[in-house]
Amino acid sequence: MSGGAQDQAIRTGRVTRTFIYVVLIFFALFYLLPFFIMLINSIKPLPEITGGNMMALPTDPTIEPWKSAWSTAQIGVEATGLKPYFMNSILMVVPAVAISTILGALNGYILTKWRFRGDNLIFGLLLFSCFIPFQIVLIPMAMVLGKIGLAGSLTGLILVHVVYGIGFGTLYFRNYYAAFPTELVRAAMMDGAGFFRIFWRIMLPVSGPIAVVCIIWQFTNIWNDFLFGVSFGGLDAQPVTVALNNLVQSSTGVREYNVHFAAAILAALPTLLVYIVAGRYFVRGLMAGSVKG
């Protein structure tokens, strides 16, 4: 290739990349437009919003809607804000994600390195559980929670999400562990290592990428869940998604849109922070698990 043709190819490549970047930036900005509208309206006084242009920047910014959404907004019959329900969600999500991830890793370890008769059937049933609609299990789950005395409690909600998350955790870790050298496990067994010692010392230390995928997936699903929260959470055990719905639907005579926008952003902040902190590992771990499976 001559020098002129090579330079032309380089210029063409730069133009193409520039065009692709411009298109991607346009779509990214278009996708973020609703969030921008929510953000600017959450710091506006209510008269500015009801006055017309929701796209305009605030002329008199205020953080009072955020304070109200957090601690003084009326939810139901009490002026409690999102604060107690936010804590309920944290107390529910952390143990549910941790337990379902550990159990998923343990199941994946057993189904790949400790094979037994019927293991494929068990994995198939666990995989099938991932596709059961939430609505189908509401009545049976409510009956079980009532019989074991966990109805309307945070512990009951944690149990529900753990049970529903085990299938996804097992799927992720089984696919990831499938390509892990079985010879290493057998060598550890010959050296006298037992079942749990192999799991804690050999399998878990190499499970970082897929563990991040599982944690992000479980955290997002559990934090954003509304159906289980409104069905099984008592008055003192409702998650933030239920409180957000009650706040928006409450009838106090005036629709405080600025407070509603602020509350929606507050409710979404944890999942946003999780993706900002660990999002770059998500695709990496997901691809690692899919290729190794």
| Tens of pLDDT, residues 25-61 | 999 999 989 999 999 999 999 888 888 777 888 888 8
Helical residues (DSSP H) of the chain, grouped into ranges: 3-42, 46-50, 64-67, 83-113, 119-129, 138-147, 154-177, 182-190, 195-198, 208-224, 227-232, 240-249, 257-292
Residue 282 confidence (pLDDT): 67
Nearest to 204 by CA among 96, 109, 292, 99: 109
Q: Is the pLDDT of residue 7 over 70?
A: no
Instruction: Give me the chain's average pLDDT, please.
Output: 86
Please say if the pLDDT value at position 145 is more than 50.
yes
Specify which of 14-18, 263-267, 280-284 reaches the highest per-range mean pLDDT: 263-267
Going by C-alpha positions, the residue among 159, 177, 165, 155 that lies closest to residue 103 is: 165
Residue 43, classed as helix, strand or coil, is coil
- Token readout for 155 is 């512990």
pLDDT tens-digit map of 221-276 = 999 999 999 999 888 889 999 999 888 876 566 778 889 999 999 999 999 888 88
pLDDT at 3: 57
162 and 129 in contact (C-beta within 8 Å)?
A: no
Q: What whole-number distance in Å separates Cα of residue 126 and Cα of residue 168? A: 8
* Span 112-121, average pLDDT: 87
Which percentage of the chain shows pLDDT scores above 90?
Answer: 36
Burial 225-263 (b: 16+ CB within 10 A, else e): beebbebbbeeebbbbbbbbbbbeeeeeeeebbbbbbbb
Specify which residues 79 forms β-bridges with. Answer: 74
pLDDT for 265 equals: 94
Q: Indicate whether 289 pLDDT > 70.
A: no
Are 171 and 286 a contacting pair, CB within 8 Å?
Answer: no
Task: Identify the CATH assignment for 78-292 out of 3.40.50.970, 3.40.50.300, 3.20.20.140, 1.10.3720.10.
Answer: 1.10.3720.10
Least confident of 43-57, 206-220, 279-293: 279-293
